[in-house]
Amino acid sequence: MNTLLAPQRVSGIPDTQRLTSRSPRPSLPDRIALRIGLRLLIWSTRTPRLAQDREEHSRSYRNQVARAARERDYSREALLAPRL
């Protein structure tokens, strides 16, 4: 921007366009509406667990159950093993 062509103020003080009628903070209903809107946006973009492929979901569940059984068996063997 060419500053020589821009409108100049005689006083040299920049003209800030302040709105005198605005409050420093949004009103309480506006803030509540903004929070609700943000929560709805976050909630709507989540990926539900059951939206995955059914086979992938069942495979991960079987793996989780099998891992828990292996850990339980290992703990049982470790507790029942004779100590030397």
* 36-84 pLDDT tens trace: 999 999 998 887 666 667 888 889 899 999 999 999 999 999 888 887 7
Q: What is the pLDDT of residues 12-41, one digit of tens each?
A: 665 566 556 666 788 899 999 999 999 999
> Which residues make Cβ contacts (< 8 Å) with residue 76, sequence separation at least 6?
none
Its pTM stands at 0.37
